[in-house]
Every structure is written in structure tokens, then in C-alpha cells.
Amino acid sequence: MKTQIAIVGAGPAGLLLGHLLRAEGIDAVIVERASADYVLGRIRAGVLERTTTRLLDRLGLGARMHAEGLPHDGFHLTDGERLIRIDIAALTGRQVVVYGQTELTRDLMEAAPGRGLHIIYEAADVALFDVDSDAPYLTYSKGGRSHRIDAAFICGCDGFHGPSRKAMPAAVAASFEKLYPFGWLGILSDVPPCNHELIYANHERGFALASMRSATRSRYYVQVPLNEKLDNWPDDRIWDELAIRLGPETAAQMTRGPALEKSIAPLRSFVFEPMRHGRLMLAGDSAHIVPPTGAKGLNLAASDVHYLSEALIRHFRHGDSDAIAGYSKKALARIWKSERFSWQLTRLMHRFPDNDAFDRRMQLADLDYIASSVAAQTVIAENYVGLPL
Ligand code: RFL
Ligand code: PHB
């Protein structure tokens, strides 16, 4: 098969990129290792910045997000005792929208056939070749046969564990990584949220987050040690721990229910540079990871593909390849600022095993300062709603 752009991975980055290219009449084919149901079964992000919602609107695919998504004017930080509201609407004039990654992914997947975006699911053994030549290609196997796709460019949107980043020669690349000594245990339950806005809590026992997917579906997280076993956390223990960490006022509003999904995700900061080599470009989690504390991962994937689609469109429309050459630098400038924000918020809100009493007092003083300073709240708000493209 021959196409203009071969995309590896049908997560948010690959799907959004495919649609943005198709909207300009550029041919794109996505190869995805998993089945559509498997991709939709992964419970992940929940908070969309305006840069992300605007992309969906531009594609004319925002109807369900506007109907079912929950616009939020603010969120809360707490030290387990008092709530500090960050009024993002008043401080920045913008909102965020709570709309699950699974819903956004479903909207993009369902619209694909009608827009000529070809997605090949269950494509095994994807391998990339000749990415530094004018004729890159990839191969995959499906149905017991091996297949080949020739393309003008290959876009690696295959997440942290995919093959695209590994196809970049080590000699031209550098990676930067920070592993955190804890993970987030997430629980999804069909109970009403405890608050109409998100609450990020720093309790002496560790971090907790109260989030949601809808007026009847809640998403909560608690910080747990790295390598913690899910078996150690029956539902009741999670609810008890949330009640302690979120504080008595919030706990009084919390409805408990059975877990629809429970999982533990490790926390990591990671950046890979550069994001382009020859005719291979990376976007989303394949090039960078942020800890989920700032809700930036999916939104960064969206801003990457915004830059990348613009560069590819300029190449095909105007024969201008400067934009492709400049893609990595442009995307990385925004990525590093989101890395910084996610890292800072993670440090502010979590209990680190080597924290001593002084470190704890520093966190509390930081929260106290934020509570009293509009300037400090503005810094948090403007990062949370998303920096300009
Ligand atoms: P994805 O979503 O990982 O998609 C990559 C796709 O590539 C496929 N793939 C392959 N395909 C073909 N061949 C191979 N060999 C392949 N290997 C992999 C995979 O099957 C998959 O379908 O990456 P993408 O598109 O870059 O999107 C990134 C986001 O998914 C991620 O950044 C966010 O989920 C992060 N994140 C959050 N982001 C936010 O913006 N706001 C949030 O509130 C938020 N909360 C979260 C999060 C991530 C979490 N976890 C579990 C990591 C909460 C959690 C708990
Ligand atoms: C979520 O609802 O899954 C969520 C919300 C905010 C975050 C991370 C995850 O910062």
C-alpha cells in the first residue's frame, strides 16, 4: 500500500493527526497494534484544555463533547484541612472541559471511515525502515500475512512503549527522565462526584485526587508506593483512604460504590529529543511523558499534532519543508514548560519517601502562600488551562 502519511498508533495523537490531515485532503493510514475495543477500554485522561477542545471543534467533531463534557471554571488544592480554590475562569478567562479520553477517542474513531481515514487495527510487529531516506516504509503483520506501507513521512504516535522512538538512531538523540518513587491507584465508580470541581489533596499520608467523568461517574486516585499490588487495595480500603486524605468536609460529600475499573499507573517525567529524524516525526507519549498531576499528557499530544499537521500541510500545499525541519524545536518549547508544571505540581502535592519534617513544612508553606497570593494562583491557573500554542 502507498499513502502520503503513515501513522503508527491510534491513540489521541494518531487519531487527531489523521483527522487534521484528512481535513486538508492529505492521505493518511493508521496502523494500531490493539483492537478498537482495547484502546477504548484504557481509562486515562479526563481534563481537556482549550487548545484540545478547539482542535475537535475545528474538525467539526466537538458536538458530543459540548453536549456531555463538563466545563470547569476552577479546581481545588487542599492540605487535607482547607480547600484552596484556583479560579481559572476569573484568573485566565478560560475554562477546561472534563471529557474522558475514552470518549474523545471514540468520537475520533467513529468519524474515521466517513472521512477517509483508514485505521488498520490489530497490526502486529510494526517495524519502520529507511526513515532517513526519501522513501521510508513500515511493515506489519495481520491475518497471518505480512504487509508493507510506503509513505512520504511516518509519524510515530505509538505511545511510550511503541517502536517509533526506537527507530531514531541513538547517535542523534538524547533522553531526559525522572522516575517518581510512587504511583497512582485509580478507581472508577458509578457514583456522583463529591464536588463539582476537581480536588487535588496533599495529606500527610500522601496525595489523593477527586475527579469525575460525568454527574454520575467519579474517578478518584490515591498515591501508593511503587510496586504496590492492587490485591492489597479492596474497594473499602480505597474509599477509607480517600476519605482521610481528602479531608472530613469532602469525605462527608463522598458517595462510595463498587469499582468499575481499578489500576495502578507509575509516574514518570520523560523527554526525548529531537522529535524528528529524516522523515520520521514523533508526537505525544512516544516522545514525552508527564506525571498526570497537571493533566497535561493528552493535551500535549494534541498540541504536538497541531504543530505537526501544520508543518505537513505546508509541505504538501506549498512545498515548504522549513516547517517540518522546525517541528521538533517548536513542539519541545511547549513540552518543556508542561514538563516543568507537571513536575512542580507533583512535588508540591505528593509525599516522597525521603521527605522529612522540614520538607513537609515547605509544602504546607507553599500551599499557604498559594492560598494568600493571587499572583501564585495565576501562575498555576495559566499553566493548568494550557499555555498558548
Ligand atoms: P497513547 O494513548 O498511549 O496511544 C498510543 C497508541 O499506540 C499504540 N501502539 C502501537 N501501535 C502499533 N504498533 C505498535 N508496536 C504499537 N505500540 C503501541 C497503542 O496501542 C496506542 O493505541 O499515546 P498518545 O496518543 O500519545 O496519547 C497520550 C495520552 O494517552 C496520555 O498522555 C494521557 O492519557 C495522559 N494522562 C492525562 N493526560 C491529560 O491530558 N489529562 C489527564 O487528565 C490525564 N490523566 C493520563 C491521566 C494518563 C494516565 N495513565 C494511565 C498513564 C491519568 C492516567 C492514570
Ligand atoms: C482524571 O480525571 O483522570 C484526571 C484528572 C486530572 C488529572 C489527572 C487525571 O490531573
Going from N- to C-terminal start, the domains of the chain cover: 2-49+100-177+267-345
Query: Closest Cα to residue 72, out of 43, 108, 99?
Result: 99
User: What is the spatial distance between Cα 180 and Cα 291, in angstroms, rounded to a whole number?
Assistant: 9
Instruction: List the alpha helices (DSSP H) in the chain.
Output: 12-22, 36-41, 50-58, 63-68, 88-92, 101-111, 235-246, 248-252, 297-318, 322-349, 357-372, 374-384
Instruction: List the alpha helices (DSSP H) in 25-173.
Output: 36-41, 50-58, 63-68, 88-92, 101-111
Q: What pLDDT is stored for residue 81 in this prediction?
A: 85
Q: What pLDDT is stored for residue 134 in this prediction?
A: 96
Instruction: Give the pairing of strands 28-31 and 261-273.
Output: unpaired
Q: What pLDDT is stored for residue 43 in this prediction?
A: 84
Mutate to test the pocket of ligand 1, among 154, 298, 300, 303 (most ligand atoms within 8 A of CB): 298
CA 292–ligand 2 middle distance (angstroms): 7
Pocket of ligand 1 (CB under 6 A): 8-14, 31-34, 39, 44-47, 101, 123, 126, 157-159, 161-163, 184, 186, 265, 284-285, 292, 295-299, 301
Is 72 marked active-site? Answer: yes
Q: What pLDDT is stored for residue 80 in this prediction?
A: 81
- What pairs with residue 137 in β-bridges? 129, 150
User: What is the spatial distance between Cα 168 and Cα 139, in angstroms, rounded to a whole number?
Assistant: 16
CA 126–ligand 2 middle distance (angstroms): 31
Tell me the one-letter amino acid at 340: R
Q: Bin 41: left if φ > 0, else alpha if -120 < ψ < 50, else beta.
A: alpha
Name the grid cell of 219. 474517578
DSSP E strands, 106-165: 118-120, 124-129, 137-142, 145-156
Active-site residue identified among 296, 315, 330, 350: 296
User: What is the spatial distance between Cα 108 and Cα 78, in angstroms, rounded to a whole number?
Assistant: 36
User: What is the spatial distance between Cα 258 and Cα 106, in angstroms, rounded to a whole number?
Assistant: 25
The residues, any chain, with a CB within 8 Å of residue 159's CB and separated by 6 or more, are: 9, 11, 284, 285, 286
- For ligand 1, atom 55, the nearest C-alpha belongs to 44
Q: What is the CATH number of domain 2-49+100-177+267-345?
A: 3.50.50.60
Name the grid cell of 13. 495523537
CB distance 259 to 189 below 8 Å: yes
Q: What pLDDT is stored for residue 273 in this prediction?
A: 98
DSSP state of 10: -
Mutate to test the pocket of ligand 2, among 44, 47, 99 (most ligand atoms within 8 A of CB): 47
Q: What pLDDT is stored for residue 198 in this prediction?
A: 98
Q: Is the CB of 17 under 6 A from ligand 2?
A: no
- For ligand 2, atom 10, the nearest C-alpha belongs to 295
Name the grid cell of 75. 479546581
pTM exceeds cut of 0.85: yes
Active-site residue identified among 137, 140, 180, 200: 200
User: What is the spatial distance between Cα 114 and Cα 96, in angstroms, rounded to a whole number?
Assistant: 29
Active-site residue identified among 72, 76, 203, 288: 72
Is 296 marked active-site? Answer: yes
Question: Which ligand is nearest the CA of 220, by number?
Answer: 2
Q: What phi, psi does 105 have (nearest 5°)? A: -65, -45
**Residues with pLDDT less than 70, the chain:** none
User: What is the spatial distance between Cα 354 and Cα 207, in angstroms, rounded to a whole number?
Assistant: 15
Is 337 marked active-site? Answer: no
In our burial notation (b when 16+ CB lie closer than 10 A, e otherwise), range 149-173 reads: bebbbbbbbbbeebbbbebbeeeee
Q: Give the other-Cβ count within 10 Å of 242's Cβ.
A: 24
Quick: pLDDT tens for 213-230: 999 999 999 999 999 999
